[in-house]
A = this chain, B = another copy of it.
Amino acid sequence: MKGGLFVPIIVNLDVMMAKRKISSNELADIVGITAANLSVLKTGKAKAIRFSTLDKICEALNCQPGDILEWQNPAEKS
């Protein structure tokens, strides 16, 4: 594996952004964080998230935390 421990929280932000046809720069703008930081989250490299940020993302994408965060049962890993 590339980066350290496997934590089975999958970030599906990229999927939701695709569904909403919104670019990283645009979402970063609306949410009010830098595109660099949004990229960290979007590519699954973040280790935590503030509720204030999750809130703003959900608002911008009109979606639920569950649309963005997914728990993958390690026992059922492909």
Interface set of A (CB-CB < 8 Å, partner B) = 7-9, 46-52, 54-55, 58-59, 62-67, 69-71, 73
Chief secondary structure at chain A's binding surface? mixed
Q: A59-B73, A64-B66 are in contact. List 8 more A-B contacts (CB 8 A).
A: A7-B55, A9-B54, A9-B55, A47-B51, A48-B49, A58-B71, A65-B65, A65-B66
A69 lies within 8 A of B71 (CB): no
Q: Is the CB of A69 within 8 A of B54?
A: yes
A46 nearest CB neighbor, chain B only: B51
Task: Determine which residue in A64, A65, A67 has the highest number of CB atoms from chain B within 10 A of its CB, and name it.
Answer: A65
Nearest residue, chain B, Cβ from A58: B71
